[in-house]
């Protein structure tokens, strides 16, 4: 694996899970902003996964623009998954 994922195997797993969760959320933001075909199976799967990952943050902020609402309500969980996931992984690697 790359140098970024060095350390204990448990820390590596935590980092990878956080990165994958954030990637799915960011991918949904991009697909939404580019008006991807929601009837497509892949787009539908990404949307369902992003909804599940960000369920706690839906309508956290009431922004009138649908584009900005999507960016904030899916982007915030992505940032938190990255921040918290990598902080936990760092703690696991130090232990």
Q: Could you report the per-residue pLDDT of 77-90, keeping only the tens digit for each? A: 999 999 999 999 99
**What pTM was computed for the model?**
0.89
Length of the chain measured in residues: 95
User: What would the pLDDT profile of 14-31 be if each residue is shown by its tens digit?
Assistant: 999 999 999 999 999 999
| 87 within 8 A of 19, measured Cβ to Cβ | no
pLDDT at residue 2 tops 50 = no
**pLDDT for position 77:** 97
């Amino acid at each position: 694996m790359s140098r970024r994922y060095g350390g204990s195997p448990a820390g590596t797993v935590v980092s990878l899970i956080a990165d994958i969760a954030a990637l799915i959320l960011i991918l949904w933001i991009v697909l939404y902003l580019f008006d991807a075909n929601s009837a497509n199976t892949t787009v539908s799967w990404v949307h369902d996964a992003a909804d599940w990952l960000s369920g706690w943050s839906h309508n956290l902020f009431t922004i009138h623009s649908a584009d900005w609402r999507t960016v904030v309500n899916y982007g915030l969980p992505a940032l938190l998954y990255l921040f918290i996931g990598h902080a936990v992984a760092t703690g696991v690697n130090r232990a």
